Amino acid sequence: MFAAPLISTLLALSVLSAPSPGAEPEPEPTTPATGDPVTGDPLTEAATEALAEVRDLLDDTTTSLLPPVAEPQADLTLELRDLAMLKDELPPALREEAEAYLARPTDGKKDQYGDGYTTDDVFTECSEAVCVHYVTTTADRVPVADADENGVPDYVDFALATVTEVHNRYVAAGYRPPRGDGTRGGNAKPDIYLADVGAKALYGYCSTDEDFPGTGPQDAPAYCVLDNDYARSQFPTNSARDNLRVTAAHEYFHAVQFGYDASEDAWIMEATATWAEDELYDDIDDNVQYLEYGPMAHPRKSMDQFSGLFQYGTWSFFRHVTERFPAAQGGMPTLVRDLWRRLDDARGAPDDYSLQGLKRVLNKRGTSLRDEFARYAAANRMPGRSYEEGKANRYPAAPLGARASLAPGKLTAKPRTFRLDHLSASTIRYTPGKKLRAKNWRLRVSLVMPKRWKGSAAVVTVLPRQGAPRRTVVKLKKNGKKAQRFQFSSRSVKYVEVTLVNASDHLRCDRGTRFSCRGAPRFDGAKATVRARALRA
C-alpha cells in the first residue's frame, strides 16, 4: 500500500533532516507555484514535490522523455500516480493546479495544464472492451481519412481495434481487466483519449482521477492518453501504427497494474510494462532501445531502482526468467501474471511488495531470486548466446569489472575485491596464455564473499573455443566461501569468467527511497573477493 507507509516514511525523513543545535536557521521553504511558505508537514512537502515533478514534465515541451535523449527523464505515468495519491495534502491553491494536471482531456479548461480538448465536439467509439474519445478539429484532431466510409476516421478505427486487441490479449493471459470507473468516461469501460501529446514529447501515458483512501486497498481505475497521429515529425522512429501498438501495450498494462495496486513499487511497474510490449508485439522490438540504460549495460547498479530510464531496461530480467520458465496462457508467460497476483492490493489479496512477490513466484518454480539474478547477471555478459533475440537485436553486453591473463611465470592473478550493492554484479575474466596448452591445466577459483543468506552468489562461465558457454552456479558454503577448479587449457578454452553477485533483497522498508518497498538496503557495499591460480590437475 502507498499512503500509510508513506506517512511514516516522510515523518522519519523529517526527523533525519532536522538542523543540529546551534546551526544557522535555513531559509523558510516556499512552494514552487506561489512562493508561499510550505507548512513544514512532511506529506505536504512530498505532495508539493510530486506536483513540481509533473509540472516540469508537462511544461517542458522540448525534451523527449524517451531515447535518444541527452539526459534521462522521469516517467509521467508514475509521477501522475504519485500526485493523484498525494493531492489532498496540498494547500488549496496548489490542489487546484494538481486537479488540472490530473483532469481528463474531456474536462477541457480544467485540464489547462495538460492535454484538455479545446472544443466541445468530442466523439466516442466503443468496442465490447474499451472506449476511444477523439476530436476532429483543433490541434488534437485525428487524421480525417475514412477509406471504408463508415463515418469514423481510419486512425480511430485502428486505435480502437488495437486497444481492444491489447485488452483481450491480457485478459486471455489471465490478467484481471482494468477496474471500471463508473460513468466518468460515459460508461464503466476503460477510456482512451487521443490527443496531441507528441507536442509535449510524449508517446502516451495513463493516469487516474480516483480519490485514494489514507489506508486500505490501493487498487484503482485508470484512463490513458495516446497521441492523436504519431506523426513522423514528432516520432521519427517506427511507423505511426507500430508506435501506437507498442504504446498501447505498455500504457494499457499500466491500467491493468492500477487495477491490482496503483501504489506498487515504480521500478517493477515500468519493467513489466516494457516487457509486456514485446510479448504482444514481438516484431517491433521498440523496447530494445532501453537496454543501454538498464542493468544489462550497468550491472553495478541495483536492479530494483527507479531512476531516469534505468527501470525501462530492467525488462530484460523478466525476459530472462520467462525464457527459463516459459509456461504460458493465452500466448504470454504466466510468471509475470502470477507476480501481479501476488502484488494485488484489492481487498483480501496478498499485497506483497515487488521483491516479496518476485521471490515467491520464483520459489514456486523451484528456484530462488538469488540464483535467477546470478544467472541473469552472467547471461548479460554474452547476450547474443543467452537470449532468443539477443544476437539479432544486438543486446548490449555487460562490461567487465576486471580481466587478467595467466601464463608460465604468472600463474597467480592479483586478488580482486569488488564492493557490490544489492541486486548488482561484476565480472572478471581470466584468459589462459598460449603456452598453457596441456589438457590438464585448470583454473582454481577461490571466493570470499558475505554469508550466503545475505544474498551472495557467483557464476563461473567457461567459454570453449568451440560450442556454447558452460555456466556453473557456484554452491557457496554458508559462510560465503568456496574454492573450485575449472578447465583452463588454452587449446580448448578461450577464457573463464567469474561473475560475483550481491542478490540481497534485505531492505528496511518505508525509508523514502526509490528501491523496493521504498526501503533502505541493508547490505549494500558488500565486499566480494576472488583469487585465481592456474595449475595442473
Residues 99 and 210: their CA atoms lie apart, in Å, by 11
Other beta carbons within 10 angstroms of residue 113's beta carbon come to: 17
What does the buried/exposed string (b/e) look like for 47-82 if buried means 16 or more CB atoms within 10 Å of the residue's CB? bbebbbbbbebbeeeeebbbeeeeeebbbbbbbbbb
User: What mean pLDDT is predicted for residues 327-349?
Assistant: 97
**How do residues 90-113 score in pLDDT, each as one tens digit?**
999 899 999 989 999 998 766 655
Q: Given this model, what pLDDT does residue 40 score?
A: 62
Across 194-201, average pLDDT: 92
Count CB-CB contacts under 10 A for residue 526. 24
Phi, psi of 388 (to 5 degrees): -55, -40
The H or E element that residue 132 is part of is: strand 131-134
**For residues 12 and 462, what is the distance between their CA atoms, to the nearest angstrom?**
48
Mean pLDDT value across residues 372-401: 96
Is 344 exposed, middle or buried, given 0-12, 13-18 or 19+ CB atoms closer than 10 A?
Answer: buried
Distance CA 74, CA 57 (A): 8
Mean pLDDT of 241-262: 97
Please provide the average confidence, as pLDDT, over all residues in the chain. 89
Listed residue (438, 440, 433, 381) closest to 405, CA to CA = 433
Measured in whole angstroms, how far is the alpha carbon of residue 423 from the centre of its chain? 14
pLDDT reading at 158 higher than 90: yes
The pLDDT confidence band at residue 219, using thresholds 50, 70 and 90, is very high
Closest to 175 in 3D by CA, of 75, 247, 77, 280: 280
> pLDDT tens for residues 277-306?
999 999 999 999 999 999 999 999 999 999
pTM of the complete model:
0.90
Q: CATH for 402-536?
A: 2.60.120.380
Percentage, residues of the chain above pLDDT 70:
88
Which residues contact residue 217 at a Cβ distance below 8 angstroms, ignoring those fewer than 6 apart? 1, 345, 346, 347, 349
Any idea which of 44-53, 341-350, 436-445 has the lowest mean pLDDT? 44-53
CA angle centred on 501, ends 503 and 341, rounded to 5°: 30
Q: What is the pLDDT of residue 305?
A: 97
Closest-CA residue to 75 (of 199, 163, 230, 207): 207
pLDDT of residue 109: 65
pLDDT at residue 416 in the model: 98
Q: How confident is the model at residue 325 (pLDDT cuts 50, 70, 90)?
A: very high
Using pLDDT thresholds of 50, 70 and 90, give the confidence band for residue 26. Answer: very low
- The closest of 504, 371, 500, 487 to 447, measured between CA atoms, is 500
Task: Delimit the domains of the chain by residue range.
Answer: 282-399, 402-536
**Which cell numbers in the block locate residue 521?**
538496503
Q: Look at residue 1 in the predicted model and tell me its pLDDT.
A: 42
Could you tell me if 102 and 207 are in contact, meaning their C-beta atoms sit under 8 angstroms apart? yes
Which string of DSSP letters, residue by residue, matches 311-375? HHHTHHHHHHHHHHS--EETTEEHHHHHHHHHH--STTS----HHHHHHHHHHHTT--HHHHHHH
pLDDT band at residue 66, thresholds of 50, 70 and 90? very low
Reduced to 3 states, what is the DSSP secondary structure of residue 433? coil
Contact between residue 63 and residue 78 where contact means Cβ atoms under 8 Å apart: no
pLDDT bucket at 72, cuts 50 / 70 / 90? very low
**Residue 67 pLDDT grade (very low, low, confident, very high; cuts 50, 70, 90):** very low
The mean pLDDT of 5-11, rounded to a whole number, is: 39
DSSP of 334-347, one letter per residue? HHHHHHHHHH--ST
Give the pLDDT score at 42. Answer: 81
* CA 144 vs CA 135, 237, 534: distances in Å: 10, 23, 72
- State residue 211's pLDDT score: 86
Cα 272 from Cα 251, distance rounded (Å): 11
- What is the model's pLDDT at position 238? 92
Averaged pLDDT, 478-486: 98
Instruction: Count CA atoms closer than 13 A to 200's CA, side-chain side.
Output: 25
DSSP line for 17-50: TPPPTTPPPPPPPB-TTT-PBP---HHHHHHHHH
Are 499 and 459 a contacting pair, CB within 8 Å? yes
Provide the pLDDT confidence category of residue 60 given band limits of 50, 70 and 90. low
Specify the 3-state DSSP secondary structure of 486.
strand
Could you tell me the three cell numbers for 342? 501476488
Identify the pLDDT of residue 496.
98
Query: Which residues have C-beta within 8 Å of that of residue 532, sequence separation ≥ 6?
Result: 404, 406, 412, 413, 428, 430, 443, 444, 445, 446, 498
Indicate the range of 40-54, 258-272, 464-478, 512-526 predicted with least confidence: 40-54
* pLDDT of 216: 81
| Angle (CA) 123 227 186, round 5° | 30
Taking residues 77-96, report their average pLDDT. 93
Residue 27 confidence (pLDDT) above 70: no
CB atoms within 10 A of CB 180: 14
Does residue 183 surpass a pLDDT of 80?
yes
Q: The sheet that has 493-502: what strands, in order across it?
A: 402-406, 424-432, 493-502, 456-464, 470-473
